[in-house]
Amino acid sequence: MNFIFISPMFPKSYWHFCDRMKNHGVNVLAIGDMPNELISNELKNSVTEYCYVNNMENYENVYRCVAYLISKYGRIDWVESNNEYWLELDARLRTDFNINTGMKEDVIKIFKTKSGMKDYYKKAGVKTARYHLVDTLENGKKFIDEVGYPVVVKPDNGVGAAATYKICNDKELEEFYKIEHITQYIMEEFVNGLIISYDGIANSKHEVIFETSHVFPNSIMDVVNENSDMHYYSLRNIPDKLAELGRSVVKEFPVNRRFFHCEFFKLLEDRPGLGKKGDFIGLEVNMRPPGGYTP
């Protein structure tokens, strides 16, 4: 089996994936933007060949690397980064090289947006925050008339909490609309809830074969906007309702033969039109392991 791992240098713990696959007889190949002399010895010893690309944002460079590896090692069975930032690159490579062991472009485009995820949550029977795709100030005010302040605005297709803001009044709303945004934004009602994730691995039948859960006392949005420290912890026991909803989400999303990271709010108070205190509300789903060094 030939497996191309995209950008295994970051997070720095990701060499473990390559090492374990190699130990199980997989021919692990890697592509990354860190020069060969700078990658760790652990990574060097975990792959058959590492291809350096000086700019991975240039798709042609990465494409040529994959073509070279195919010419040398034969057909590629898997392409994976396990990294949110590169999921679309992974999908494009699978599409162009007809690699059928993961999501291709037509699939990933459906749910990569936060608004697109909500349709899958709905199919799974999970409520989500009400939302509005940002267009005019007038329509933004109509939405806020419905849900009230505060609201949260963020790129509809974004990673983490980049360019995410909480808007608490008309003045802040008008300031937001004065900015020329180069990407589509989504506006959501603010949810006063504790973020709890449902994480794991699904098999080819969308069945969960490993599951765990993490609690995030301070949200990623607050960490980014307040420049504060992030902390989170693993639960010894997953709440039954969370496990039930999480498995339902995995069934509906295109989560097969891969890691998943499903985020939920646990409501800290009753929210009219959304749920009661203690209910779980869908936030977003990522088709990769939890971020950072969690694995």
- Where are the chain's structural domains? 2-104, 113-127+192-286, 132-189
Q: Is 70 exceeded by the pLDDT of residue 192?
A: yes
Using one digit for the tens of pLDDT, what is the confidence trace for 144-175? 999 999 999 999 987 665 688 899 999 999 99
Span 132-189 CATH architecture: 2-Layer Sandwich (3.30)
What angle do helix axes 170-178 and 137-147 make, rounded to 10 degrees?
Answer: 150
Strands 78-80 and 2-6, sheet pairing = parallel
Q: Which residues contact 23 (CB under 8 A, 6 or more apart)?
A: none
Question: For residue 199, which of 215, 183, 221 has the smallest C-alpha distance?
Answer: 215
Average the pLDDT over each of 36-50, 148-162, 212-226 and give the range with the smallest value: 212-226
Q: Is 80 exceeded by the pLDDT of residue 220?
A: no
pTM of the prediction? 0.90
Token pair 């709890």 in the structure block, residue: 196
Topology (CATH level 3) of domain 113-127+192-286: D-amino Acid Aminotransferase; Chain A, domain 1 (3.30.470)
Q: Is 90 exceeded by the pLDDT of residue 221?
A: no
* pLDDT-derived band at 18, boundaries 50, 70, 90: very high
Q: Is 90 exceeded by the pLDDT of residue 211?
A: yes
Using one digit for the tens of pLDDT, what is the confidence trace for 110-127? 778 899 999 999 999 999
Strands 208-216 and 233-234, sheet pairing = antiparallel
Residues of 248-287 as b/e, b for ≥16 C-beta within 10 angstroms?
A: ebbbbbbbbebbbbbbbbbbeeebeebbeeebbbbbbbbb
Mean pLDDT rounded to a whole number for the chain: 93
CATH number among 3.40.50.2300, 3.40.50.720, 2.60.120.200, 3.40.50.20, domain 2-104: 3.40.50.20
113-127+192-286 and 132-189 share one fold: no
Q: What percent of the chain has pLDDT over 70?
A: 96
Q: Give 38's DSSP letter.
A: G
Using one digit for the tens of pLDDT, what is the confidence trace for 51-92? 999 999 999 999 999 999 999 999 999 999 999 899 999 999
For 167, half-sphere exposure in the C-beta direction (CA atoms, 13 angstrom radius) is 25
Using one digit for the tens of pLDDT, what is the confidence trace for 224-250? 667 778 889 999 999 999 999 999 999
Element (H, E) at 147: helix 137-147
